[in-house]
Amino acid sequence: MRKLYETREISCQPYLDQRPGTAGLRKKVTSFKQPHYLQTYIEAIFRTLRMPADSSLIVGGDGRYFSLEAIQIIAEIAIAHGVRQIITGIDGRLATPAASYLIRNRGAAGGLLLTASHNPGGPDGDFGVKFNTASGGQAPESLTEAIYANSRTINRYSTCDLPDLPLSATGTYQFGQLSLEVTDSAADYADQMEGLFNFEKMRDYLGSGHRLAFDALHAVTGPYAREVFCRRLGAPDDCILHSEPLPDFGGFHPDPNPVDAAHLVDLANSPQAPDLIAASDGDGDRNMILGPGLMVSPCDSVAIMLAHASRVPGYTRGIAGVARSMPTSRALDQVAASMDIPCFETPTGWRFFCNLLEAGLIDLCGEESFGTSSSHTREKDGLWAVLFWLNLLAELRQPVGDIVADHWGRFGRHYYQRQDFFIENLDAAQTLINELGAGLAGLIGQSVGGATITQASDFCYEDPVDHSHSSHQGLSVECSDDSRIVYRLSGTGTEGATLRIYLEKYINDAGKLAMPLGQTLAPLADRAAALARIEHYTGLSRPTAAI
């Protein structure tokens, strides 16, 4: 009979498909449940990291299907590699920004986050594992590539037998040399937020008849939202929708956007619309902001945050700089220029912001895919963004729509839309990108759809902190009518490929700031489809989704 806690080695065959994407390794649950699949990937992480003896590790995630089994497996491998403390949340749930905070606050060697972010959950859904470094930020590409290289050579892994871990209540438990701490991460997170925002003013705002609706989509943020909005800000319990975390997210696609959360758009357009409507995603790092009659574009949201940052207690000291991903609209650039602070343009992927944050070069950052955050953490933070907007409403005492309209009146409007084309054949998608990229230089000077192409480039990035290079990060086409098209293949799916086309047109004519989005961007969408010959390569005549 095997003894508890006794390290042993298990022989296996390496898997060759464990290359992490922009935010860790994401696969179908069925892939992770293959014999030794998760174990070999975790072994590759530990072999690559070579953590110091007696390290602490944060382990947890969004509570999706297979999470509890994964935490048990990880703990058994971790103790075999000398980890002496694991910190997790109740039922193993940790929102991604809360996990990042715990890593930094507890001085952990890093964190293993079990999430596939906004992807669907359940037995037929997706699962994911990503490693965050001791800074709390996502692992850099050099580290994830080293993990991938190790994963291709794994033919044995070290593990041991542990009793079933008690995760249902807070406490500290000892298993041989391993200390397991189950913490109330929602309370820890709320304490941090109280240091950034004016809770007294927000309590007064909500107590004077203004209403909030926050949809947790049966994902990880339900307990966090209840702690922050109900217990600490005095909002009624029924302001939190779909608050109970479920392994399959209750059938929701936990992605806060107007397609997958169309019911919130309907609420915003109804006579019963609350003053602020918001949602977060599976692991709590994305956000959607709505007010009566409108959804705030994520690109506009981060720009408006910067314009009003001095009104929020945690940012009255000033903003050193800001950053956005390359496909994100240039609305943030306009505000940064007016404040005479730098605005960095990075590739898609939150990890590219982490070096800038760690070096103190930026205090605010955002991306078009509904992610926004600041120097308070090293991950994007959905609830933080909602609190920022709630603090603005409490300060300005204006409706969301008036705040947005005032911003456009001052800085102009960047009409913006992302069109997604889901392509089952990955090779066809890659061929489209390759052919378009090869012909970029020849596009300059061409007249297309009533405008002249002035610039066409394949975006490459040199990190200003560590001077690492990232090439082929998206194709950008700029035109003489203040419009821009960006083409990029997404790295967050688990099947096929998604071609993402980002459409942006800047208008600074007061009489044209309220034109319908679709009408304004339709000619640019036609231009984008023609330039890339989308139907020729994919057979698709229209996008799968427009966000």
From CA 138, how far away is CA 491, in angstroms rounded?
15
From CA 508, how far away is CA 319, in angstroms rounded?
26
CA angle, residues 357, 483, 493, in degrees to nearest 5: 55
DSSP string of 388-433, one letter each residue: HHHHHHHHH---HHHHHHHHHHHH-EEEEEEEEEEES-HHHHHHHH
- Residue of 56, 117, 280, 297 marked active site: 117
Strands 413-423 and 497-507: antiparallel
- The closest of 244, 288, 278, 256 to 93, measured between CA atoms, is 244
Phi, psi of 507 (to 5 degrees): -130, 130
Handedness of CA 325, 331, 332, 333 (dihedral sign): positive
The sheet that has 447-448: what strands, in order across it?
Answer: 447-448, 451-458, 475-479, 483-489, 497-507, 413-423, 545-546
Local structure of 87: helix, strand or coil: strand
Helices (H), 33-184: 37-49, 67-80, 96-106, 141-151
DSSP bridge partners of 57: 86
Contact 22, 369 (CB under 8 A): no
DSSP string of 514-531, one letter each residue: TS-HHHHHHHHHHHHHHH
117 part of the active site: yes
Contact 400, 296 (CB under 8 A): yes
From CA 375, how far away is CA 195, in angstroms rounded?
13
Q: How many CB atoms sit inside 10 A of residue 21's CB?
A: 16
From CA 508, how far away is CA 408, in angstroms rounded?
8
Local structure of 136: helix, strand or coil: coil
Q: Whose structure tokens read 């800038």?
A: 356
Catalytic residues: 117
